Every structure is written in structure tokens, then in C-alpha cells.
Amino acid sequence: MKRIENILRKLININTTNPHGNEMDGVKEILGFFPKGIDYKIVDHENNRGSLIIEIEGKSQKKIGFIGHIDTVPVPDESSWIHPPFEGIFKDGYIYGRGAADMKGGVTAMILTALYFIENHITPPNTLKFVFTADEESDGIGVQALRDKGLLKDLSSVFIAEPSDEEIGICEKGALWLKIHIKGKASHGSKPELGLNAIEKLYEYINRIKDSLDLKKNHYLLGESSCAITLINGGVKTNIIPENAVASIDIRTIPGFNHEEIIENAYKIGQKMERENKGIVVEIEVENNRLPLTIDEENDFIKNIVSVYKKLNYPVKFKGINFYTDASQIIPFHDIPFVILGPGEENMCHQRNERIKIESIERMIEFYISYINNC
């Protein structure tokens, strides 16, 4: 218990809020928990940013991966927290701080799982690869660099140790962010017929996109897909018909949605509107494209997790994760079994007064070790 608390507090003490991230400070701190002579690799992303891989050789060459990110989201309102966000205060069984749940608690569980095998000189049945990444809360430069260097292609399965309420996360929503720019023609507000109103055309365009998506389709764990306008800009003055309008839309998709089709359709709608409204120009930019992911409950990897859960008397409950994780940068490229399963509450992510129960980390360490020993 004390050791979990100490490690987590030290990780929270290091400010790895992203932007800037400074994950290299976290990498050094994590390495400091390990004895000399371990097998590790640091990947430098420059500007004090880096990711870390620690490998423990097993009896077989099969490699089980554990992935956790080192960065956290920022703290916009430090003074409104009940405990200072970088102190890692312990109270009533919880540790408070930025990243406690998302996901320095999961990182602590990974570190202590690795140390269990190293310190007890136990050779695990399979090789273990503990991957600590930079920049998950932004563009994912950490996991992308590791993937592009081929450092993840030897994994045969992967645990994403994000806070899942200790439930077994077998799917996650995809995200597709589109930026739409409509250029029309300005005219005097009293003569709208002489102009091409970019804001009104943008509004129409977004409604057409929404209508083209089957947002009522339901997934048994993830619910429905969504399409939200999250940024909008246009016009210069009340009495001028606007020439330019720009908006970003955030589309979140359940498994079964084909992002390529949505993108193709977005271009088609743009072209159709250009034909219908001579003179307007529709430009579309894909700002983020993360595919929805899912794994079958009957997949052997998931079945093994369930059997270890039962052995430990943990309640078995499947979960869908609404946000995307580092898995979205791995699974579409290396088709391996995955699960999102880690300590802490999903609802605590990015919240003020973020906290995690020490017991939750303890249970997850016990689970990871049992899984490794039994599979």
C-alpha cells in the first residue's frame, strides 16, 4: 500500500501537463524506480519529450504489452482544487492530483507489476513489454514514433491501462474531426440576393452531413454515434452578408462506421453544394481520424481475462470506452487482441479534484500479475 502511494505521489509531483508534456522528466523518474541492469529503451521526441519501453524476457517469445501514457491534461484552475494538484495528497484511501486517474495510477500499476517479476527474479511465461508513452492527450507523437520505428509490431496482445472502473473495456469509439471552410460572396445586408451567405451555406452543409450519418444506430456498450459542432467562425459585421465561414465538427463513431466513407461523402456533399450554388467554394480538412475499435467477448484473449477475473473473485463486467486511447494508433496498424483495463474511475478523467483509490491500483496489480502467470 505504502509503496503504491509513494510511487504515485512522485509521478504526480512531476508536472507532465500537455502542452509541453515534459515527459522525459517522467521517463527518468520511472527508470529511477527500477534496479540497474534492466532491459530498456528511451525514444527521444526532442524538447524534453520522450517515451520509454521496459522489457522483461519470458520463457516464450510471445510478447504481452502494457501501455500507459505519461502526460496529463492541463490544470486551468489550480486554486479551485481542494488539494494542490501536483502534491499527491493522500486522504481517506484516495490520492488526489492531476493524472491520479488518467493515468499515473495505471502507470504505477504497470511499474509495480514489472518490479514484481524483476525483484523476485521470476521469469514470466511470456515476454513482457511495458510501454510508457508521451503526448497521448494531444496528437499521440509518442505512440506514433514507437509504432513507426517498429517497436510495437512484436506485441501479440496489449493492455491499455487507462481508468476503466476496473471493468473490461472491449471497444472504444472512433473520432473523426472535420474542418469545413465555405467561401461565398459578400454583399450589403440590405441586398442579400447579390451575395452568397457563407454562414448559411455552412449551416446547411453541416445539416446535410448530420443527415447522412446514421446517428440512431445503437451499440450495446457504446450507445449511439454523435456529430457535434465544436468551433465556428464567420462574418464581420451585422449588415454585411458574410463571405467566409469556418467550422469544426467532432464526429464520434461506434464500431461499424466506415470513416473513409464518411470522408468521401463529406467531399461529395461539398461538391454538390458547389454545383447548386454557383460561386461558393467548400474546403474540407480532416483534422483527426481515429477508427472505432472492438474485440469480441469470445476472443481467447478476453476469455482468459474473464477467467482470471473469476479466479480472483472480481466482478466481470464489459465496458465500452467513449474516448479514444493509444489503442487507436496501434490496432488499425497491428491487428492484435487488445483490452482497455486499468485502475481508477473513467469519470475522473480531466476533472477538477481528480483522484484514485489506492485499493483500485492494488487490485489491478494483482490482476496483471495473475494474468501474466496464468496465460
Query: Which parts of this chain interact with Zn ion (CB under 5 A)?
Result: 102-103, 162
Cβ proximity to Zn ion: between 55 and 172 the closer is 172
The DSSP bridge pattern shows strands 126-133 and 60-69 to be: parallel
Half-sphere exposure of 137 (CA within 13 A, CB side): 21
Beta carbon nearer to Zn ion, 135 or 162: 162
Starting at the edge strand found earlier in the chain, the sheet holding 281-290 runs 226-234, 244-253, 174-183, 281-290
Closest contact distance (angstroms) between CB of 75 and Zn ion is 15
CB contact at 8 A, 195 and 277: no
Among 375, 363, 25, 373, smallest CA distance to 161 is for 363
161 or 295: whose CB is closer to Zn ion? 161
The three-point CA angle 201-207-209 to 5° equals 105
Minimal distance, residue 306 CB to Zn ion, in Å? 24
Task: Identify the three-state secondary structure at position 289.
Answer: strand
Which residue lies nearer to Zn ion by CB, 102 or 345? 102
DSSP 80-139: GSSS-TTT-EEETTEEESTTIIIIIHHHHHHHHHHHHHHHTTPPPSEEEEEEEES-TTTT
The answer, yes or no, to whether the previous bond of 103 is cis (omega within 30 of 0) is yes
Q: What is the DSSP letter of 333?
A: T
Least separation in angstroms between CB 71 and Zn ion: 9
Q: How far is the CB of 309 from Zn ion (least distance, A)?
A: 22
User: Among residues 18 and 294, whose Cβ is nearest to Zn ion?
Assistant: 18
Which residues have a Cβ under 8 Å from the Cβ of 216 and sit 6 or more positions away?
Answer: 224
Shortest separation between residue 160's beta carbon and Zn ion, angstroms: 9
> Which value, to the nearest 10 degrees, does the dihedral of the CA atoms of residues 115, 118, 122, 127 take?
90
Q: Which is nearer to Zn ion, 103 or 293 (CB)?
A: 103
Question: Measured from the CB of residue 303, what is the shortest distance to Zn ion in angstroms?
Answer: 26
Q: How far is CA 241 from the centre of its chain?
A: 41
CB 337 within 8 A of CB 274: no
User: Would you say 23 or 162 has its CB closer to Zn ion?
Assistant: 162
Can you tell me which residue has the cell 484552475? 77
CB 68, min distance to Zn ion, A: 8
- Please give the helix or strand (H or E) that residue 300 lies within, else none: helix 300-311
The residue whose Cβ lies closest to Zn ion is 102
Reading the block at residue 197, the C-alpha cell is 451567405
CA distance 95 to 358: 7
- Provide, rounded to whole angstroms, the least separation between the CB of residue 186 and Zn ion: 45
Nearer to Zn ion, 234 or 320 (CB): 320
State which residue, 282 or 364, has the beta carbon closest to Zn ion: 364
**β-sheet with 89-91: strand ranges across:** 89-91, 94-96, 355-357
Query: What is the nearest approach in angstroms of Zn ion to the Cβ of residue 102?
Result: 4
